[in-house]
């Protein structure tokens, strides 16, 4: 199990509690000692079954999603764009030559609360170099966000650079093909965010309710940005290629 230093551990515990108790995400636990994927098939299949799709439709959609997420002939950017198109518009499947094409929708954009929201911590990524993002956000079992947390005395720039390093081919670029948001946060500076490939200087500061000092900026901004309806809206309307 990964040893996180005490100040960061306390922050991480608090943020997990925030996601679980205030935002209503399901906590999937510590994933340090497991094989992990950016597509958690068990949860995606459960969501799609509940949405009324047949086994063969689900199997076909999963095969297409995995193929687009792990295309070795494209860059990370190209894979991420292909995956986003499937998330945004659905996966067209045709289970027999004499049947019409159906669209398997991986995310319910119109009714955000009908999606399944999860977080996991210390998600071990096995590539050429093993890395462990602090917190990963999943929608319907698909990893869509990575959050790196730092203690107050460490600049958010360190968390951003860590995220950027993880996206390099020699590290764990494969995991980021489904990721829509990359976050770095600490208690003193709050929250900065970007998408895959965003240079450090272009990471944005989330600012809202600046006069409210009743809790840490990090908590306050995560509550705003990662609220289920807001997160789905941001993915649908504000991710551009």
Tell me how crowded residue 70 is: count the other CB atoms within 10 A of its CB. 15
Distance of CA 232 to the CA centre of its chain: 12
Domain ranges of the chain: 6-39+110-237
Domain 6-39+110-237 fold is tt1808, chain A (3.90.1570)
- Facing residues of 216 across strands? none
- pTM of the full structure: 0.92
Q: Whole-number mean pLDDT of the chain?
A: 90
Question: For 190-222, what is each residue's pLDDT tens digit?
Answer: 999 999 999 999 999 877 666 777 789 999 999
Instruction: Compute the average pLDDT of residues 179-193.
Output: 93
Residue 131 has pLDDT above 50, yes or no: yes
- For residue 2, pLDDT beyond 70: no
**Whether the predicted pLDDT of 89 surpasses 60:** yes
Measure the CA–CA gap between 200 and 60, rounded to whole angstroms. Answer: 38
* Residue 1 confidence class, pLDDT cut points 50, 70, 90: very low
Q: How far apart are CA 16 and CA 26, in angstroms?
A: 10
The number of CA neighbours under 13 Å toward the Cβ of 63 is 10
pLDDT at 233 over 90: yes
Percent of the chain with pLDDT over 70: 93
- Give how far Cα 92 sits from Cα of 61, 73, 106, 195, 200, Å: 8, 22, 11, 26, 36
């Amino acid at each position: 199990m990964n040893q996180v230093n005490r100040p960061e551990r306390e922050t991480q515990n608090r943020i997990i509690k925030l996601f679980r108790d205030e935002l209503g995400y399901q906590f999937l636990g510590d994933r340090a000692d497991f094989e992990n994927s950016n597509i958690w098939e068990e949860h995606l299949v459960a969501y799609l079954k509940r949405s009324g799709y047949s086994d063969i439709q689900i199997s076909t959609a999963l095969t297409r999603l995995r193929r687009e997420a792990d295309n070795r002939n494209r860059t990370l950017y190209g894979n991420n764009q292909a995956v986003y198109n499937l998330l945004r518009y659905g996966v067209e499947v045709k289970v027999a030559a004499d049947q019409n094409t159906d669209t398997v929708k991986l995310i319910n954009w119109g009714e955000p609360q009908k999606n399944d929201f999860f977080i996991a911590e210390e998600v071990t990524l096995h590539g050429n170099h093993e890395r462990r993002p602090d917190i990963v956000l999943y929608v319907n079992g698909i990893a869509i966000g990575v959050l790196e947390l730092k203690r107050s005395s460490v600049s958010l720039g360190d968390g951003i650079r860590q995220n950027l390093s993880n996206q390099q081919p020699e590290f764990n670029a494969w995991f980021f093909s489904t990721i829509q948001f990359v976050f770095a946060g600490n208690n003193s500076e709050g929250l900065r965010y970007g998408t895959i490939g965003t240079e450090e200087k272009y990471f944005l500061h989330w600012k809202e309710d600046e006069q409210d000092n009743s809790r840490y900026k990090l908590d306050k901004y995560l509550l705003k940005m990662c609220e289920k309806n807001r997160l789905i809206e941001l993915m649908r309307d504000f991710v551009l290629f």
